[in-house]
Chains A and B, each alone.
Chain A
Amino acid sequence: MAEEAAVVSRPTQQLSSRAGWSDIKARHPWLVFLLSRVARLVVVCALLLVGTFLMVRLMPGDPARRILGLQATPEAVELTRHRLGLDRPQFEQLWSYCWNALHLDFGESFSQGVPVRELIAERFPKTVELAAAATMVLLIVGFGVGTLMAVLTRDGRRPRLDATYGTSMGALSAVPDFVLAALFAVVFGLYLKWFPVAGDNGLSSLTLPTLAVAIPGIGFLSRVVRAEALDVLSQNYVRTARAKRLTGRRIYIRHVMPNAAYGGVTLAGVSFASLVGGTVVVEQVFNWPGMGSALTSAVVNRDYPVVQAGVLLLGATVVIVNTLVDVLLAIVDPGALREN
């Protein structure tokens, strides 16, 4: 309070256009909000396009030489350069790259000789499947466990459970996804033979990869949800709700959960990024035929069109999901929208 009062307000020049803008903002908060999010999405995707374009251009060496190998004749290299359009001006190349990328045309895979588009059509849905399943497990278990622990350990109740939970969740989030994946493959796939270790044979083969992707995030998310729920429990409006003699159930469901969800969803959005990163690694372990395993083998084989497509698609997915989370948050708490 004192700090705020001490802050000397700087004289700001109020531009007339500014005033008009704030007027629009006040009248159509949703419109302004959605426009700003879409604008950001477009900018980020544009940056992604330029980034993936530059990625290949900035690499030392000539892509054509890399395709053909060191023994290739200069004529052959020149021919390939022409075929790839590398002899055209950079800006023209960037333009046609972007134009084609927007049509999901990334050229041909260097190593497999098939159009990258076909590869994507085959691989990308598999990654979406895995990521969606893992997100669902992450959210349900993370929120469930976090809220439960907050209720059980509030006001310093059950200190031993509290300590055990903290330590075990800390340990859980310290286990990397690929190690977890390897462990699962050995224990549940190899010894217990509950689930297949590799490939894609429906739900049973989806189980292990999903758990391997979701569990490290659960350790993190459930702790955040718990802290968030405890924080909400100590808020004045919960005291108000108690003063109204509401039932404990109503206090939790209507007053605590929505407010705890806000922080939880924010973090769920953040953890989605690492979750997509997790799929890249876990797909490799279980031989899951998704975008991630295609991406890693493309990096090993220096198959640049596939690398570009993989990075672009996975990156765009993360950005789009984050935008959706922002919109979701605004729906959960329209008050924040107005202040935004």
Chain B
Amino acid sequence: MRNKYLHALFRTPSGAVGSLTLLLIIALAVVGPLLWHDAAQAENVTNLNLGVSRDHLFGTDGLGRDVFARTMVATRLSLLLAVGAAVVGAILGYVVGIVIAVLPAQLRRVCLAAVDVSLSFPVILLAIVFVAMFGGGTTSTIVAIGIAFAPPLARLSSNLALAESRKEYFRIARTLGVPTRTLLPRYLLANIAEPLLLTFFYAIGSALVAVSALSFLGIGVQPPSYDWGVLLVNGFTLLYVQPAAALGPAAMIVVTGIGLALVGEASARAANPRLAGARRRTAGDDAQNAQAAAEPTPDDPTSDDLVLDVRDLRVAFDTPAGEVVPVRGIDLRIRKGEVLGLVGESGSGKSMTALAIAGLAPANARVTTERCRFLGHAGTPAGLRSRRIGQRLAMVFQDPATSLNPAMRLGTQMTEAVRAGGVGRREAVERAVERLTDVRIPAPASRLRDFANQLSGGQRQRVMIAMGLMTEPALIVADEPTTALDVTVQAQVLSVLRDVNVRSGASVLLISHDMSVIAQMCSKVAVMYAGAIVEYGDTADVVHRPQHPYTRALLASVITLDHSAESEAPAEPGGVAPSADGRNRPGGCSYLARCPIASERCADEIPPLMQGAAGEVACWNMADKEQLV
């Protein structure tokens, strides 16, 4: 733990600068009063309010004392006050917070409400109140600021403690009868100590500011004692005569504050790597444009009824550990009105395929195709110049709860795409009502004014489908549309999807890990494994006469009522699925490690998709013998 922090502190330049600054300030606090005490006290009537000079770096004050020496001496008191106030605040706040966390629920709610109320007051105002009550001076400043700091620290510690006490291990320990005197320190405090310490560290910085502010207002440290705040306000009265007397102490406050902030940030980063900088992956436009440009295909007369024709689609990512290739060259051809299923286990690259086709792959993805045509136009749907043709591909995502904008009315969300295309408001609304009726949403007109959270999960997914239908899509890509829903709702959504396919003639690319969903819905199936298609054919063939050993394993894992007695099917795929990166991939078939029928050739050569008994299969042992060379 200690090493982790030290490492983090000095790894980044800002962390290193911050730590060095702090060390310097602490050293100054130790030696400052020893070195400069005499110079700080020496009054000299001939040297009143002098400006900056060699002898007086920050000039002199109204009594002829050297401001630089006084600033150095004040380091100790300023730091002590800040640490003292932070300690008082932390003890009060953490104790109150943790006590609140272990109170019975009713009482806890009342206490938390009280803490929230005190939280809403400005800290400095609270501190002023307490200073007014205790009178000024060093001790009362510490106590006043400590008390004023307690509410936020109490809130934080009670939040942390509550979150911790709701975790599994804690509940189990409590159920097992671990006594409270062990439970509290060993289970609770030990696990929230890190954020609490970090916060304490931040609190020192804020306390320094608050203490200086009180002194600056003349109600904190009282003469003859002095901290930076006192020096600052003294200097401030001389602002016109010699500003350095104010700027010197001000600089010390700022430098110390920045040092504390930098160190705090660096250690927070060490404690929580997610803070290290948001490197989020979202859909980007660059990749899409790039791939659209690289598309010089001539027209192909045989592709008339092909809605989508993709050849050799690859998706690759560059990572520090090397190239990762989740999709390694697959072909997809979807005909008008066809429902194609893309099935495979999670991590097989099927969702990435869908995102790449829709042009929604992460910004750092490299998407390449040998050929890509959508509705006879060259380019991916996303890369197409014409927005309207691009809109003829609709997406339905896995999680309807997060895929709808929570802050926008459903009507606006449904109509915005066609409205942007020039359709009038009334017409767009009428169309939205129609589409909602198509997906069997009751009272569609009034639903348009609702927000997503007012719908059930199944309704949300049907709204997503209806929203996709607004632009009269030629292809609906449904990426695990029913995975987040329970079984009865699944059936509803699937039947809506089939309805839509029959009525509007839109093709559907249905992606699922669930063979039974695919079997219900699709005319053709492509089975995907480790970024490649291993079997392709008519659904009936693939389901009843699976060729590839992986397909067989996948089917065997589906328990259906009429097939439950069949026990001769191979067991679930054993072993570990290969990772998508190419580093430790052997030269041969990617299914090799889990395959029950592997032969020698499988270890040496990657099997391409070949003609099988029915449909196509990428397996040396199952392909038509005549095809093999």
Partner-B contacts on A (CB < 8 A): 3, 6, 43-44, 47, 55, 58-59, 154-156, 159, 162-163, 166-167, 170-171, 173-179, 182-183, 185-186, 190, 197, 227, 230-231, 233-248, 250, 254-255, 258-259, 262, 273-274, 276-278, 280-281, 284-285, 295-296, 299-300, 302, 304, 307, 311, 314-315, 318-319, 322, 332-335, 338-339
Q: Classify the interface of chain A: helix, strand, loop or mixed.
A: helix
Do A248 and B285 touch (CB < 8 A)?
yes
B: interface residue count bin: 35 or more
Shortest distance from the beta carbon of B425 to any chain A beta carbon, whole Å: 15
List 10 tightest A-B contacts by C-beta distance, closest first: A277-B122, A277-B124, A243-B395, A174-B261, A174-B257, A236-B402, A176-B209, A244-B417, A155-B363, A237-B405
Q: Which of B120, B123, B382, B408 contacts A319 (CB 8 A)?
A: B120
Total A-B residue contacts, Cβ distance less than 8 Å: 222
Q: Bound state CA distance, A177 and B265, in angstroms? A: 21
In the assembly, what is the distance between CA of A55 and CA of B281, in Å? 54
B129–A55 touching, CB < 8 Å: yes
- Taking CB atoms, residues of chain B closer than 8 Å to A159 are 277
Give residues 356-395 of B contacting A (CB, 8 Å). Answer: 358, 360, 362-364, 382, 387, 390-391, 394-395
User: Closest CB of chain B to A70's CB: distance in Å?
Assistant: 15
Shortest Cβ gap from A66 to chain B (Å): 11
Q: Is the CB of B120 within 8 A of A273?
A: yes
- Within the assembled complex, what's the spacing in Å between the Cα atoms of A190 and B261? 30
* 10 residue pairs bridging A and B, Cβ less than 8 Å apart: A155-B280, A170-B258, A182-B236, A233-B282, A237-B404, A244-B467, A277-B124, A281-B216, A333-B407, A335-B454
In-complex Cβ contact of A311 among B128, B260, B408 (8 A): B128
Q: How far is the CA of A176 from the CA of B417 in the complex (A)?
A: 48
Q: How far is the CB of B163 from chain A (nearest CB, A)?
A: 12
B residues at A contact (CB < 8 Å): 14, 117, 120-125, 128-129, 131-133, 136, 167-168, 205, 209, 212-213, 216-219, 232, 236, 239-240, 243, 246-247, 250, 253-254, 257-258, 260-262, 265, 277-285, 358, 360, 362-364, 382, 387, 390-391, 394-395, 397, 399, 402-408, 412, 416-417, 420, 451-454, 464, 467, 471
- CB of A315 within 8 A of CB of B121, answer yes
B452 touches A335 (CB 8 A): yes
Q: Is the CB of B279 within 8 A of A176?
A: no
Give the complex CA separation of A44 and B391 in angstroms. 53
On chain B, the residues within 8 Å of A281 by CB distance are: 124, 213, 216-217
With contact pairs A55-B133, A182-B236, A299-B131 given, residues A171 and B261 touching in the complex (Cβ less than 8 Å) = yes
| A167 vs B266: C-alpha distance when bound (angstroms) | 11
Residues of B within 8 A of A250 (CB): 416, 420
Q: Which of B117, B217, B253, B403 contacts A236 (CB 8 A)?
A: B403
Given known A-B contacts A170-B261, A280-B128, A318 and B406 have beta carbons under 8 A apart: no
Q: Closest CB of chain B to A101's CB: distance in Å? A: 16
Best-buried of B132, B205, B362 by chain A (most CB within 10 Å): B132
Residues A240 and B219 in contact in the complex (CB < 8 Å), given A190-B243, A227-B278, A250-B416: no
Cβ-defined partner of B404 (8 Å) among A230, A240, A243, A333: A240
B397 close to A240 (CB less than 8 A): yes
Is B399's CB under 8 angstroms from A236's CB? Answer: yes
Chain A positions within 8 Å of B285 at CB level: 248
Shortest CB-to-CB span from A224 to chain B, Å, is 12
Is A242 within 8 A of B122, CB to CB?
Answer: no
Assembly CA distance A173 to B363 (angstroms): 32
